[in-house]
Structure formats: C-alpha cells, structure tokens
Amino acid sequence: MVMSRTFLVGILLMVLTMGVFHIPDASCSEKEKGSEQSPDRMVTIAAEYPSIQMARGGEKININVYFRNMGKTDENLNVWLINNYKKWKASLTTFSFNITGVYIPSGKDKAVVFEAEADKDINPGKYEFPIKAQTTDGKFKLSEVIVIEVLKEKSELDKSRGIKLTSSYPEIQGTPDSTFKFAIDIDSTFVDDTPLDLSAQGPKDWNINFKPSYEDKYISSLRIKVNERRTINVEVKPPADAKAGSYPINVIINTPKSRLETPLTVILTGTYSLDVRTAGGLLSLDAKQGKTSNISFYVKNTGSAKNTNIKFMTFKPENWKIEFKPEKIDAIEPGELKQVEMSITPYEDALVGDYSVGVDVAGEKVTKNIELRTTVKASAAWGWIGIGIIVIVIAGLFGLFRRFGRR
Amino acid sequence: MQHLKTIIKKELSDHFSSYRFTIIFALIAMVSLIVAYMIGINVRKELEGVAKPQFIFLMLFTSSGNLFSLVQFVAFFGPLIGLLLGFDTINRERNEGTLSKLLSQPIYRDTVINAKFLAGVSVISIIMISIILVIIGLGLLVLGIVPGIEEIWRIFIYLVISIIYISFWLGISILFSILFRSTATSALAALAVWIFFSFFVAIGASAVADALVPDIKQDIKVAGSEADYLRSRIINQFSLISPMHLYTRATATIIDPTRKTTQTFIEIGRMESISIARFSGTLPLTQSILIVAPYIVSLIALTIICFALSYTIFMRQEIRSF
C-alpha cells in the first residue's frame, strides 16, 4: 500500500513538474497526436480495486482511483464521494487534503486515493461507496463504485491471505548463561510488499532481539516481498540470575493488516557453579611434621541449581593424611554457604619446606580447585632437648671444676 | 682469673712466636687463596643460565671448585689444625720440667689446663675468622655482590660450628698429651684417631652396609633403589660416630639454604616431589638451624665432654717429673 502510494506521489510530482515547464509544448503535441485517433472529449474513471475484503477492526483502507483523459481537450472534473454509512469515514484525498475537483490534461492519467476507515464495531456485510465525477460543463458524468466487504473475524482473512509464522524449535532448553536462538520462518502470501514490525513479550529483564539470518545486526522491522519466505532469528538472553524453570516468550509480528503471535518457550535448567575459598582468603598454612594442622574453607553454590553430593579430593604428597569434616556435602542450595574443616597431617619424616596441597571440590557437573601452600616446619621439641643436653653437659663441667679445681 | 689471663697470653705468645705460627700463617694464606681462586673460576660458570640465583655469596663456601670447597676442606683438614696446636700441650712442659716449675707458682692447676685449652680455641678462632674474612673479601672482589644479612648470619653460625669442631680435635690432642708422656706418641695417637674418624669410618660404614644389604645393582632398578635407600641409611647411622660426619651434617643446611635435609640420600615419593617442587625455595634460617640442631648439640657436647675428660685426668695426675 505504501509502495503504491509513493509511486503515485512520484507520478504526481512528475505530472506537476511537466505541468509547470512543458505544458504548452506537451499539450500541443498531444493535441496533434490525439487528433487523429482520439475522440474530442473522453474521460474515464476506474478504481484500482473495485471490490475488497477486510476484517472487522482492520486497518485504514487506501485504494487508488484513476481518472484518464482520452480526449483532445483538457478537462476539469468535479468529484465527490457518496458515503451513506455513519460508521465509516471515507474521503478522496491526495497527499493530505481532500479533493473535490481534478484537472486532467489531454491524454494524461490522474490518480486520487480513496481512503476509508470503519469503526471497530461495524457490522459484517457489504458496503458500497459510489464515486461520482462530472465535467465542469456537466456534459460528462462518471461513476464508480467501491465495494468493501467486512468479514467477521480476522482469522478468516488470515487464512486466505497474509503471513504465516512457523518455528521449527519452539522450545529450547539451556542454562541461564547461554543465549537461546530461535528461528522463525515467515511466509508471506500477500500480493504486495509488506512491512513487518517485530516485537516480543518476555519475562522482565530478559533481552530479546531479532536478527536476520546470516547477518549480524539487530532489527525491529522487516520488509517482506510478495510470496517470499524469510527466516529471522530470535535471540533470547536471560539475566544471569534467572532461576531454573520454564519461561514463555511471545513473538508479535504486526503487519499493516494483521497481528500475529507465536509462542516460544525457554526452559532454564540452572547453572552449576561452586566457589571455594578459605576464611580470609589465605591459601597458605604452617604445619609440623607428624602434627595435625587445621584450616577451614567455605564452599558456596554460585550457580542457580541445587548442587548435590559434593566430594573432596586431594593432591598431596605420599604418606600425608588429609581429612575433611564433614567428609562430603550432601546438598547445597543456590547461594548457600557451607563450611568445611580440613586437617592436614604431614608425614613424620617429611622434609622441611613448602609443599603444594591441592583440594578438588567436586560437585555435580562442576569442580573447583584450591591450592594450599603448606609450609612444613621442623619441630622445635628436639631443639629444647638439645639445649637441655648442653646445659647438663656444661653443668657437669662446672661440677668437675668444683670438685677438682683449686688444687 | 688474673692467672688465667696471664697464662693465656703466655700460651698465645708461644703459639705466635714459634715456627708453629709461621706454619699456621702459611696454612691460612694457602687455604684462603686456593679456595678463593678455585671458586672465582667456578662460581661464574655455575651461575650461567640460572634465572634468579639466591644466596650466591654462600656458594663461595659450598662451591666445590676444582677439588674441594671450603666446607669440605675444613671438615677434612680442620682437625689437623686442632691436633697441631694441642698434641704437645702438657707433655712438652712435663718433659722440659717446666710444668712442675709452673705449678710451684701460686697458680691453681685447673687454671693451667683451662688456659691452655682457651688459648688453643683463640688461635683456632683467629685462623678460621681470617680464612673466612679473606674469602669474603676475595669473593666481594670476584663476584661483586654484597652478602645479605641472612647470609652473614649463616656464615657466622658456620664459623661458630667450625670453631667448635676444631676445638673438639684440640681437646682430643690435649687429652693425648696428658695421657702420653712422649710428644711423638701423643702426636701419632691423635693422627691415628683423625685418620680413623675421617677415612676409616667412611670406608667402614660402606663396608658394613655392603655386608648387611646384598648388592643387587645388577637386578631390577626398582628393587635397587629400595636397597640403595637402606644402604644409605646404614651408612648414615654408622657414620654418626664420626665427628667429621656430625660436622658435615651440621653445616649442610646452614651454609646451603637450598638443602632441606641433612641426609645425602632420601626417599621421596612422586607426588611429594611434584608437591615440593611447586614452591621451590630456600629454607629460612631458623628452620635450617632446627634441622641441624641435633648435630650441633652433639658436637658441642662431644667437645665439652672431651675437655672435661682431659681436665679430670689432668687434675688427678701425678705431675712431678721423674
């Protein structure tokens, strides 16, 4: 409709410019040419679509009405529309003003637009709109009738003529951190090019975008050609903190003549993610050979799904003992924090120095690793014993001095 | 106390005025120059390709150079300094008849032995400090690196352990000089003890280990490593009777902070090696000291016991010359 309108405007502009600059020449030559074949005076009227169907509550109707002057003389016509219906607003227009008269140079066409809009509660049935025209001298009278048939329901029309939406995968499952891509095929059976407005209704904070297939840009409208099939991608990005569940998304496509909806469903399965850290974030500890050292760490479920059966596995040197309290975590809800007490016992003959002790926290579908720098220190107990021995020996020496000295 | 000082001064002047001093001076010069020269050549080579060397200065003492490092040198030949200083302490005076003259003065008998021992320790300290200072000086010249505080501490502790070790041998030789009337006998006895502990114990230990653990080097490698470990343990236990062994162990982690144990052969698991290699670093000084504390304690105790023995015997001995 828009296309035809712009086309019309183009013609009109052309005619107008010709009218300004070339009318004398053109009219002369037309007159000379037409004088051989055409009758002296002849004007016709024709509607582009004399009979149309529309749904109740549908869009405004625009139909071109053509006047043609096949005579040798230029004609001035008075034009009027007969509207017998209260629930209809109808007029003949061009650009934005109403028309009551038309000037048609010899051999030229002139198009005006018949506009009609019905109230929403109009009764179904046939409505006739006669368009009358008369030359200013009253010698020629023209008449054309546009018949508009109002149908009961929208779907009645859609079935026969319009746009069909099909989605091969209306349900997609995934985690909240993924992007869901639906493909929707749009089949147009319109007889002319149609602009489509794309919109979608989804849960709050969800990001829904339309993309043409094989092109990386977001669109919000699309022009579909006659009998064309286009595929558009609907990209759905849930917010990161979305809970697991099923979410309906309604894709709405508005054409000038109709409104279509297609339901899509996103099923969020929830993410599995764990965070493991020690209290205070310190990843090192001191231990003594053969002595138990304790460190506690927290396991936090940072995913959106419940994580069950979390086990602890360790990477440790041979002969070391590592125990966890509790030995495993049965279940941890999203966002929940659980404390684990870990006790490390280095081997009795372990060398002094820094060791790496790794802890794998293995939950459902996710494993988190922390590495602890364990500094094994020599036990100071033997140092004290040594000092004791030296003290005893020196005491013995002084005993000797006392006993044998000063002779 | 006044008498003690007088006798120490007299002893020191004896040490420094005799040919012995010339010998000692030659020893200091020789050892320092040889060690500094050899290390000067080698340390640069050893440092090539090392990304971030730590404790380079201590390498002056541990780097083995062409023949031996200072630590090894002191372990083997340090005892000789002690023996040289002490083998004729008492019996020379006795043979020359000066001991009874000395004791006829208003001097306590224990002052004599204490002063002689302390004078020997002073000379040993002077020798060791000179050697180490000369090496540090030459090291500064060759390496152009200033030692850090921890390095200085380690060198100091090493120095103290070395002085104690050599003092032990001084105590042994004084003991022999009290026991034997002839200076030649006491010198020979002291040398025999030195040879026994320095060489025989090492050879004997491996002989015992060989006897106890069958040599299965021809067998499968895995079984071999188990046997090797056992052998090394036996050698280690057996060697503990040698003061030289104690000294080597005691200085091992003090002067070489990258060492984490006193053992030369340790059994280490695969996981353990990965785990400990993750943070390969040097030991802090306190940890190094704690590791070798038993050895240091044993050395100090041995030295004191040895001196106490000489003291007791000397105090109860008949000192009149025959």
| pLDDT tens figures, B33-57 | 887 777 777 777 777 766 666 777 7
Residue A160 has pLDDT above 60, yes or no: no
Q: Indicate yes or no: CB of A356 within 8 angstroms of CB of B279.
A: yes
pLDDT class of B301 with cuts at 50, 70, 90: very high
- B263: closest chain A residue by CA: A351
Chain B nearest C-alpha distance from A372 (Å): 10
More confident residue, B254 or A227: B254
Distance from C-alpha of B109 to C-alpha of A13, rounded to nearest angstrom: 140
CA distance B294 to chain A (A): 6
Tell me, what's the pLDDT at A402? 80
Residue pair A297/A340 in contact by the 8 Å Cβ criterion? yes
Q: Report d(CA A236, CA B162) in Å as an integer.
A: 78
Domain residues for the domain of B296 are 2-316
Nearest to A354 among B279, B289, B300 (CB): B279
Q: What is the pTM of this model?
A: 0.64
Confidence of residue A29 (pLDDT cuts 50, 70, 90): very low
Question: d(Cα B165, Cα B168) in Å, to the nearest integer?
Answer: 5
Binary contact (B272, A355; C-beta < 8 A): yes
Looking at the partner chain, which of A318, A396, A400 has a beta carbon nearest the beta carbon of B269? Answer: A318
Other Cβ atoms closer than 10 A to B317: 13
Q: What are B125-164's pLDDT values in tens digits?
A: 988 898 888 888 888 887 777 888 888 999 999 999 999 9
pLDDT class for B218, splitting at 50, 70, 90? low
* Rounded Cα distance, A376 and A152, in Å: 88
Does residue A402 belong to the interface with chain B, where contact is any CB pair within 8 Å?
Answer: no
Long-range contacts (CB closer than 8 Å, 24 or more residues apart) made by B243-246? B243/B165, B243/B168, B243/B169, B243/B197, B243/B299, B243/B302, B244/B75, B244/B76, B244/B79, B244/B197, B244/B198, B244/B201, B245/B201, B245/B202, B246/B165, B246/B295, B246/B298, B246/B299, B246/B302
Among partner residues A352, A393, A400, which is closest to B287 by beta-carbon distance?
A352
- How close is the nearest chain A Cα to the Cα of B270, in Å? 8
Residues A285-301: what's their mean pLDDT?
89
Distance from CA of B91 to the nearest CA of A (A): 20
The answer to whether A395 faces chain B, any CB pair under 8 Å, is no
Q: Is the residue at B322 inside a domain?
A: no
Structure tokens at A13: 């502009």
| Closest-CA distance of chain B to residue A365, Å | 26
- With CA atoms as reference, the chain A residue closest to B294 would be A386
Please indicate whether, in this complex, the C-beta atoms of A354 and B297 are within 8 angstroms of each other: no
- DSSP label of B88: T
- The answer for residues whose C-beta is within 8 angstroms of residue A267's C-beta and 6 or more apart is A171, A172, A173, A174, A245, A246, A247
The C-alpha atoms of residue A329 and residue A337 are separated, in whole angstroms, by 11
- pLDDT for A19 equals 47
User: Where does residue A125 fall: left (phi above 0), alpha (psi -120 to 50 degrees), or beta otherwise?
Assistant: left
pLDDT at A24: 46
Query: Which alpha helices (DSSP H) does A2-98 contain, by range?
Result: 2-21, 23-37
* B272 closest CB neighbour out of A317, A378, A404: A317
* SS3 per-residue string spanning A214-261: CCCCCECEEEECCCCEEEEEEEEECCCCCCCEEEEEEEEEECCCCEEE
Tokens 């050697």 label which residue?
B131
- In A, residues 362-381, which contact B (CB 8 Å cutoff)? 371, 373, 377-380
Q: If pLDDT is split at 50, 70 and 90, which confidence band does A193 have?
A: confident
Query: Which residue type, as a one-letter code, is found at position A169?
Result: Y
Whether A82 contacts A130, CB under 8 Å: yes
Q: Which fold has domain A2-157?
A: Immunoglobulin-like (2.60.40)
Q: Which of A198-222 are b and which e, b meaning 16 or more Cβ less than 10 Å from the residue's Cβ?
A: bebebeeebebbbbeeeeeeeeeeb
Fill in the amino acid letter for B266.
I
Subunit contact B293:A319, Cβ cutoff 8 A:
no
- The whole-angstrom distance between A399's CA and the closest CA on chain B is 10
> What's the pLDDT score for residue B120?
92
Three-state DSSP at A132 gives strand
Per-residue pLDDT at A1 exceeds 60:
no
CA distance A81 to A78: 10
| Least reliable range by pLDDT among A35-39, A229-233, B147-151 | A35-39
Question: Does any domain span residue B240?
Answer: yes
The reply to whether residue B291 touches residue A378, judged by beta carbons under 8 angstroms, is yes
Count the domains in chain B.
1
Q: Given an 8 Å threshold on Cβ–Cβ distance, is B269 in contact with A317?
A: yes
Instruction: Output the CA angle B56-B59-B60, nearest 5 degrees.
Output: 110
The domain over range A161-268 is classified in CATH as 3.40.50.620: no
Q: Between chains, do A352 and B278 touch, taking CB under 8 Å as contact?
A: no
Q: Is the pLDDT of residue A22 over 60?
A: no
pLDDT (mean) for B296-317: 90
CATH superfamily of A274-380: Immunoglobulins (2.60.40.10)
Q: How confident is the model at residue B254 (pLDDT cuts 50, 70, 90)?
A: confident
pLDDT exceeds 50 at position B185: yes
Residue A38 is predicted with a pLDDT of: 64
Q: Inform me whether the pLDDT recorded for A30 exceeds 50.
A: no
User: Rounded to an integer, what distance in angstroms lies between the CA atom of residue A124 and that of residue A220?
Assistant: 34
Structure tokens at B138: 């030459």
Distance of residue A326 Cα from the nearest chain B Cα, in angstroms: 25
Q: Which residues contact A45 (CB under 8 A, 6 or more apart)?
A: A65, A66, A67, A68, A131, A133, A142, A143, A144
Chain B interface mutation, best of A284, A320, A322, A351, highest count of B Cβ atoms under 10 Å: A351
Task: Give the burial string for A292-307 (b: 16+ CB within 10 Å, else e).
Answer: ebebebebbbebbbeb
Is B315 within 8 Å of A356 when comparing Cβ atoms?
no
Nearest residue of B to residue A398 by CA position? Answer: B308
| CA nearest to B251, candidates B196, B194, B289, B306 | B289
Residue A221 near chain B (CB below 8 Å): no
Rounded alpha-carbon distances, angstroms, from residue A107 to A220, A239, B291:
44, 65, 118
In the block, which residue shows the tokens 């420094």? B16
Answer whether residue B24 is part of any domain. Answer: yes
Residue A33 has a CB neighbour count (10 Å cut-off) of 13
How many CB pairs (< 8 A) connect A and B? 107
Residue B321 in domain: no
Closest CA to B299 of B208, B167, B149, B144: B167
Return the pLDDT at A26.
43
Which pair of tokens denotes residue A132? 């009358």
Q: What is the ipTM of this complex?
A: 0.72
Q: What is the average pLDDT score of chain B?
A: 83
